[in-house]
Amino acid sequence: MSWRRTHTCGELRASDEGRPVVLTGWVESARDHGGVVFVDLRDRYGRTQIVFHDDAAEDTRRLRPETVVAVRGVVRPRPEGLVNRDLPTGEIEVAGESLQILNGCPTPPFEIAESAESEPSEELRLRWRFLDLRRRRLQQNLIRRHAIVRSIRTYLDERGFVDVETPVLTRSTPEGARDFLVPSRLHPGSFFALPQSPQLFKQLLMVAGMDRYYQIVRCMRDEDLRADRQFEFTQLDIEMSFIDEEEIRTLIDGLIAILVKTVRGADVSLPIPSLPWAEAMARFGTDRPDMRFGAELRDVSDLARESGFEVFRRTVADGGAVIAAAFPKGGALSRREIDALAEAAKELDVQGLVWCKRAGGGGLQGGIAKHWPSDLAGRLIARVGAEEGDLVLFIADRPPAARAALGEIRNRLGRDLKLYDPQGFAWTWVTEFPLLEWNEEEKRWQACHHPFTSPRMDDIDRLEADPRAVRARAYDIVVNGTEVGGGSIRIHDPELQGRVFRAIGLDEDSARAKFGFLLEALRYGAPPHGGIALGLDRLVMILLGETSIREVIAFPKTQRGTCLMTDAPSPLDAEQIREVRRWFGLAPEDGEKR
């Protein structure tokens, strides 16, 4: 019998009794019970118990965790009372006949076994990522990510989409995040940029008549990292011709429903509801609302003006607003915990946060309760929907800042007070975003999404006269307070595209220098089109119940943008530096050869 593997470590069952087998894998544990050695052998498919007796056990005494071995033996039932019902292979064991050590392993920097008592630090895990990925949870995350991608491809393929690859080396874009730049060896002083998105290329594919395009594509943005953001990320990119917003949302609704059903076994009620941007900001203080719980924001400025609290009255008189929200179970918070919320509010660039509670008798108590006469308190309670035992929080400041800050506090308390099921999903579309926003530093208007997004047709006439009032034909898909995708209907009329460029400060010459190829394409029969991009890493993270995209990416960067395993980024040697200087079109430094 050869040493070629016959079965995986997750494959054998009671029906295989008496079968001679060869298993290969990593030793998870080896336990010597005086002449009988039990070895748990693991691969990515599962775990099988091997039992060696007498002479056959001799080599097993040299085994260490993570040693790579091949085992010959025969499948047999486990003795009565020793069946492991929690293990798919738990009804059988393999009576080991011989063992071949394929590769040894020193003591790992952390325990890899599924039964490990403690979780290694993230820094240690990322330094030894190739070992971290042996752990079952990480392997299952990558396997389930693969299944999600396969479902996406099947769904889109069945609906007539074509997978088209777009360039990785392209030109730098002036709008959006900072580019990663690549100097050109053949054209010193000129640069390629790594793609932040295939945006322009997928629009050109629509001009080319491809009609339905998709791509699961790597993108790069040189921006600060966080739990749901990396320098390089993967997105599902989609573009369609001759469609409107509703058709794109319907397409994505169906995809989301299939993925949630496949991964979590849950149903998504369709259609996914939509919420205009202005309403989302008013009710939740953010365009990424977590709608798993209530505690919605309410403007109580008119009531605050009548209260006896001078800060409120002064803020409203100066054109500010008083925003409030009632939090179920919040009345049980201690004064120290409420003070911590107030400190958190100050860090969010507002004046501060004050509070009161809905008392058992129906009135208000604590905090600023004394400043609310009983009749006014009743109107406040009705406005915010406070029930007995609820905590009512107030922030008085400029309206956008007050809403944004209380929205952040709302998310924090929703989690801390357990106001929602952490395993549940609340999906929503956010629509009708502003087309433009004012850049105070540069003293100009800039695109909220990108400058190729179409304004709503009924707002086009306001583009020059009142840019702030123009709404975009844009839409984001949001779940549990996280944006997982966004898109828009694009501008297909070259004249309208020119007007939007001018609105953001690009004159005709500048627009042609940067986007001449797009403007040319729009003149040659560009169809109406639009699309969306879903952040695949974020989507997988949420579907799998993880809290960081690093848990669903094979080789992620740290929050400081480094790879601890490969020690990247790293310095260049002297010859590489000289060559790069030539690519940049820079003169040699003193002493360097030309």
Answer yes or no: is pLDDT of 417 > 70. Answer: yes
Measured CA to CA, the distance from residue 413 to residue 407 in angstroms comes to 10
Query: Does residue 482 contact residue 288 with C-beta atoms inside 8 Å?
Result: yes
Average pLDDT over residues 47-55: 90
CATH 3.30.1360.30 fits 293-419, yes or no: yes
Place of tokens 């400081």: 560
The strand pairing partners of 482, in sequence order, are 479
Give percent of the chain with pLDDT exceeding 90. 82
Measured CA to CA, the distance from residue 92 to residue 15 in angstroms comes to 9
Residue 130, both tokens: 């190739």
The strand pairing partners of 366, in sequence order, are none
Query: Does residue 444 contact residue 175 with C-beta atoms inside 8 Å?
Result: no
Q: How far is CA 68 from the centre of its chain?
A: 35
Query: Does residue 286 contact residue 507 with C-beta atoms inside 8 Å?
Result: no
Task: Quote the DSSP letter at residue 175.
Answer: S
Answer yes or no: is pLDDT of 136 > 90. Answer: yes
Stretch among 145-159, 184-198, 580-594 having the lowest mean pLDDT: 580-594
Answer yes or no: is pLDDT of 54 > 90. Answer: no
Neighbours of 139 (CB within 10 A): 15
pLDDT for the residue numbered 581: 80
Task: Express each pLDDT in 364-406 by its tens digit.
Answer: 999 999 999 999 999 999 999 999 999 999 999 999 999 999 9
Residue 193, both tokens: 């940029």
Cα angle at 307 between 306 and 313, to 5 degrees? Answer: 75
Measured CA to CA, the distance from residue 469 to residue 472 in angstroms comes to 10
Assign 590 a pLDDT band (cuts: 50, 70, 90). low
The C-alpha R_g of the chain, in whole angstroms, comes to 30
Query: Does residue 356 contact residue 363 with C-beta atoms inside 8 Å?
Result: no
User: Phi, psi (5° rounding) for residue 269?
Assistant: -70, 120
Where in the sequence of the chain do the CATH 3.30.1360.30 domains occur? 293-419
pLDDT for the residue numbered 592: 54
User: Phi, psi (5° rounding) for residue 223?
Assistant: -135, 170
Domain 14-103 belongs to what topology? OB fold (Dihydrolipoamide Acetyltransferase, E2P) (2.40.50)
pLDDT for the residue numbered 114: 85
Assign 174 a pLDDT band (cuts: 50, 70, 90). low
User: Phi, psi (5° rounding) for residue 344?
Assistant: -65, -35
Tell me if residue 575 falls in helix, strand or coil: helix
Cα angle at 199 between 425 and 226, to 5 degrees? Answer: 50
Q: What is the mean pLDDT of the chain?
A: 93
Answer yes or no: is pLDDT of 572 > 90. Answer: no
Per DSSP, the residues of 40-74 read EEEETTEEEEEEEEGGGGTGGGG--TT-EEEEEEE
Neighbours of 460 (CB within 10 A): 15
Task: Quote the DSSP letter at residue 387.
Answer: P
pLDDT for the residue numbered 56: 66
Task: Express each pLDDT in 250-306 by its tens digit.
Answer: 999 999 999 999 999 999 999 999 999 999 999 999 999 999 999 999 999 999 999
Give the type of residue at 242: F
Measured CA to CA, the distance from residue 273 to residue 169 in angstroms comes to 38
Residues 6+ apart with CB under 8 A from 150: none
pLDDT for the residue numbered 1: 61
> Greater confidence, 70 or 228?
70
The strand pairing partners of 21, in sequence order, are 73
> What's the pTM?
0.92
Residues 6+ apart with CB under 8 A from 103: 67, 68
Measured CA to CA, the distance from residue 301 to residue 399 in angstroms comes to 10
C-alpha distances in Å from residue 346, one per residue of 93, 99, 343, 352, 492: 61, 65, 5, 5, 45
Task: Report the half-sphere exposure of 335 (CA within 13 A, side-chain side).
Answer: 3
Where in the sequence of the chain do the CATH 2.40.50.140 domains occur? 14-103
